[in-house]
Amino acid sequence: MATVTIKSATVARIIEGHGFAAAESFKKRDGSEGKSYYTVWSDARVSVGDTVSISGLLGVKLEEYTTRDGERKQTAAASINNAEVKVLQTEDAPF
């Protein structure tokens, strides 16, 4: 596995007892904003909306799902294992 470091991501969702989902924003070539999502496996105490830095082992797997319209789609699901998480800013107050 490769090591990945995300300098600034936002906690999007808590996965109780396992970790959280994080969203990283970036600017595309055309100037629009894009987002990458990661599942972070960690026991770090974070809240939705917190800004965090994350470092750990990157894992990617292919996932299939069916849309509400019945169309089958595939996506690459990225996860960060053995993650070290540092809270940079909380939803309630910046550090």
Give residue for tokens 């809270």.
87
Question: Is 19 domain-assigned?
Answer: yes
Check which CATH number belongs to the domain holding 32 and give it.
2.40.50.140
Question: Is 94 domain-assigned?
Answer: no
Question: Is 38 domain-assigned?
Answer: yes
Q: How many structural domains are present in the chain?
A: 1
d(Cα 63, Cα 84) in Å, to the nearest integer?
A: 25
pTM for this model (two decimals)? 0.82
Which residues 6+ apart lie within 8 Å of 1 measured at CB? 57, 58, 59, 81
d(Cα 38, Cα 80) in Å, to the nearest integer?
A: 7
Query: What pLDDT is attached to residue 1?
Result: 72
d(Cα 90, Cα 48) in Å, to the nearest integer?
A: 9
Query: What pLDDT is attached to residue 89?
Result: 86
Domain that holds residue 61: 2-89
Give whole-number Cα distances, 7 to 28, 39, 65, in Å.
Answer: 18, 15, 30
Query: What pLDDT is attached to residue 94?
Result: 54
pLDDT tens across the length of the chain (95 residues): 799 999 999 999 999 999 999 999 999 999 999 999 999 999 999 999 999 999 999 999 999 999 999 999 999 999 999 999 999 988 765 55
Query: What pLDDT is attached to residue 46?
Result: 95
Question: Is 95 domain-assigned?
Answer: no
